[in-house]
Structure 1
């Protein structure tokens, strides 16, 4: 029986641990918090997961909350005009619904399941010195803890990391009492609101500790008016600031939020980080090597909502690579091949996310605008959140964009 250690109990670490466990591997999982501490702690992310990522959970029968979480059936984009009206406003229907489950609910539940199924759960914040020891006692050590000193084991890949500073200031609030969008009250959608030069506000339905809720998520351009949450420690002040910025820049979303209240005292989060791709192999002082997982090695800004999706896809890819490797040694060549296989998917997420962080070129503005008149364009753009590889076909290159819009326009005209 092969012995595998996974350090970090987030989406990727737990999904991979439970997957390996189900295949008969002897898995040890290290977490710096107990499941009870996770449930009682602060919110950790926004985690809207699209169809492919949700299917990876279903394949492992880990979709414990699917019947409870809101079904997100659309993805809408609005662009604010200078007078705070809507210059663009549309929604595309998703081919397969998305869902968001508060990671305090999911990670705690998965961790309890892993332990109940006989997995060895170690509550300990691992240091590099710990990994030096464990690399000699396990067949494979995987690092999926995306923060702290362990990340420093994995050097930055400058060729794949165009930014060396945070591109957005992030602020999250989980709320009860959000009203529906009057234009489409019959189905739930993620709403992406773009305020040129200022930032973005995302509104998404979720399942949290106290049931159905919505997430208000500001991404502010550093130094701009939405970059205002540093030093705000009081949750009520955080919500008040969130709402006042909505009222100023996005009055149509503020109109839905006049009666909201925080889901709980830990329902806010703020921070920032530089999007970074790192080398996948961490070399230890004692000569051993460890393999980085998910956002340890590919950390994108959350502007495209891909974090949990990428973590799920990475765990699924790594699981396949481990199962296919049989009894052979998990050497550095295998580690690099395993990451490269995941990067085949992840590179599309990184390219798209980094593009969305910049000032959109004219052809992208035309594409987003055209989606308001052409439902087929709205549909394709919305479903790109599930499969970002498709953006290669119609998003980056002005000639491809223009050709696609001409084709979509012709198809929409009556014969």
Structure 2
């Protein structure tokens, strides 16, 4: 029986550990927190998983919350008229919603990771509650057939060198601020179905609103992405959750009044329902070298960390776990050497490269042809639907998004 160590108990690490476990591998999972500490702690993320990523969970029968979590059937884009907020609340220049072919869902990672961790232990997996350091891995690399590092923060990440060719940014491109709330009203335009809403405020940043399932039931996530140094970059050092929420709402009233209108009665889901921070999007070399000569393989955010502006983090983590699981199962009892590690990452990069390209494009000011595309989607429903479904399969953006000629040809084909 092959022995595998997974360090880090997020979406990718747990999905991979549970998948290996169900295939008869002897798996040890290291987490720096217990399931209870995760469940009662602070929110860790925003997440909206689209159909392909949800299917990876279904395939492993890990979709424990599918019947409870809101079914997200659309993805809407609004764009504020540039400069319209100078005199008062912003005005909308564009507003549309695209329909998803398969619904999306969001489950608070506190709920999911705690539940999955308990399942892993109940199924006989070895769960070690311990924050791992590089020295620990040096020892473990000699006792396990394979060590996978899926802890995306902290000292372990430093083992994986930044890939400058695939990492155009050296600084964070957005200041992030998240609040989980109860009491958000429905959108008046389409109250009959749930949708993720993205409001773009040119030169200022973006607001995302997504329905979710949290520890206290159905909720919504209010998520600001502010251009650093701009009017949304005001959450640094805000420790009080109530102050965080009131800042979130003040900014909505000014920059996205169409969303603020349904948020006048919201309250935080819990004292841990806020989060703020920022990081530079980075792609890293997937193989970490230990002082004693052992090799470890980086997983998901450790090797490809994109800004959350395109909502791909948990999707990418799920797709990475699925690709790595397939590579491990196919490899049989051959050694997990450097060549195999590189090939395993390359297999994941085939999907991840499209996410990285699209996310980095969305962090930059949009060129004219993209604004034309987003505007046209307000008049042409198939364009709105295609844009929405590309969140599930970002590779499709290659066909109609990056090059003005392809965008014009696509829009002409619909006219």
TM range (shorter): over 0.9
Deviations 1:58-82 (A, max 9, x none): 0000000000000000000000013
Paired position in structure 2 for 1:345: 351
Deviations 1:103-132 (A, max 9, x none): 000000000000000000000000000000
Displacement after TM superposition at 1:47 (Å): 0.9
Deviations 1:311-349 (A, max 9, x none): 000000000000000000000000000000000000000
Displacement after TM superposition at 1:92 (Å): 0.2
Pair 1:395 & 2:401 matched:
yes
The CA distance in 1 between the partners of 2:107 and 2:121, in whole Å, is: 21
Pair 1:236 & 2:238 matched:
no
Pair 1:207 & 2:185 matched:
no
The CA distance in 2 between the partners of 1:13 and 1:109, in whole Å, is: 14
Paired position in structure 2 for 1:182: 188
Paired position in structure 2 for 1:118: 124
Equivalences for residues 147-226 of structure 1 within 5 A: 147-226=153-232
The CA distance in 2 between the partners of 1:125 and 1:324, in whole Å, is: 31
Displacement after TM superposition at 1:247 (Å): 0.2
Paired position in structure 2 for 1:87: 93
Q: Aligned to 1:200, what secondary structure does the other structure show?
A: strand
The CA distance in 2 between the partners of 1:44 and 1:80, in whole Å, is: 29
Instruction: Kindly report structure 1 stretches of 4+ aligned residues shifted beyond 6 Å.
Output: none
Q: Aligned to 1:48, what secondary structure does the other structure show?
A: coil
Paired position in structure 2 for 1:38: 38
Deviations 1:169-221 (A, max 9, x none): 00000000000000000000000000000000000000000000000000000
Pair 1:134 & 2:166 matched:
no
Q: Which runs of 5+ in 1 are unaligned?
A: 410-415
Equivalences for residues 224-373 of structure 1 within 5 A: 224-373=230-379
Deviations 1:111-160 (A, max 9, x none): 00000000000000000000000000000000000000000000000000
How many residues end up aligned between the 2 structures? 409
Q: Aligned to 2:105, what secondary structure does the other structure show?
A: strand
Deviations 1:338-369 (A, max 9, x none): 00000000000000000000010000000000
Q: Which runs of 5+ in 2 are unaligned?
A: 85-89
RMSD, aligned α-carbons: 0.3
Paired position in structure 2 for 1:8: 8
Displacement after TM superposition at 1:408 (Å): 1.1
The CA distance in 1 between the partners of 2:410 and 2:80, in whole Å, is: 25
Paired position in structure 1 for 2:87: none
Q: Aligned to 2:291, what secondary structure does the other structure show?
A: coil
The CA distance in 2 between the partners of 1:88 and 1:252, in whole Å, is: 12
The CA distance in 2 between the partners of 1:3 and 1:279, in whole Å, is: 24
Equivalences for residues 370-381 of structure 1 within 5 A: 370-381=376-387
Displacement after TM superposition at 1:85 (Å): 1.1
Paired position in structure 1 for 2:57: 57
Displacement after TM superposition at 1:308 (Å): 0.0
The CA distance in 2 between the partners of 1:152 and 1:304, in whole Å, is: 25
Moved more, 167-176 or 78-87: 78-87
The CA distance in 1 between the partners of 2:144 and 2:116, in whole Å, is: 23
Displacement after TM superposition at 1:226 (Å): 0.1
Q: Aligned to 2:315, what secondary structure does the other structure show?
A: helix
The CA distance in 2 between the partners of 1:275 and 1:268, in whole Å, is: 22
